[in-house]
């Protein structure tokens, strides 16, 4: 496995990552897939709220906000 994989929650602001693994099950997995977080999708970390929760990401042209506890379950390859 690639050593360049990090949880989405740790992707630096302004960086791009490629989704490589979804470590979620059930309804949470379905929600992530519905948001467009499927394998090999590009995700850009845009900005963090002042308290650090949630974090805004650009996915397939849309901006979504995820809580760190959700984002840490997605592994991305940093680009």
For the chain, percent of residues with pLDDT exceeding 70: 96
Cβ-contact 72, 63 below 8 angstroms: no
Angle at 61 between CA 56 and CA 63, to 5 degrees: 20
- Among 3.30.540.10, 2.30.110.10, 2.30.30.90, 3.40.50.720, name the CATH number for the domain at 5-78: 2.30.30.90
Which residue in this structure is represented by tokens 């994989």? 5
Dump pLDDT digits (tens) for 7-36: 999 999 999 999 999 999 999 999 999 999
What is the pTM (predicted TM-score) of this model? 0.88
In the chain, where the domains are located:
5-78
Residue 74 has pLDDT above 90, yes or no: yes
Average pLDDT over residues 36-48: 95
DSSP summary character for residue 5 = E
54 is written with which tokens? 């949630």
Residue 2: the pLDDT is: 57
Using left for φ > 0, alpha for ψ between -120 and 50, and beta otherwise, residue 53 falls in: beta
């Amino acid at each position: 496995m690639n050593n360049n994989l990090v949880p989405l929650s740790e992707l630096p602001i302004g960086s791009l990552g490629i989704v490589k693994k979804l470590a979620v099950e059930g309804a949470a997995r379905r929600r992530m897939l519905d948001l467009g977080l499927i394998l090999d999708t590009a995700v850009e970390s845009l900005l963090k709220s002042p308290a650090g929760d949630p974090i805004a990401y650009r996915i397939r042209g849309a901006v979504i906000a995820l809580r760190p506890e959700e984002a840490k379950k997605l592994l991305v390859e940093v680009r």
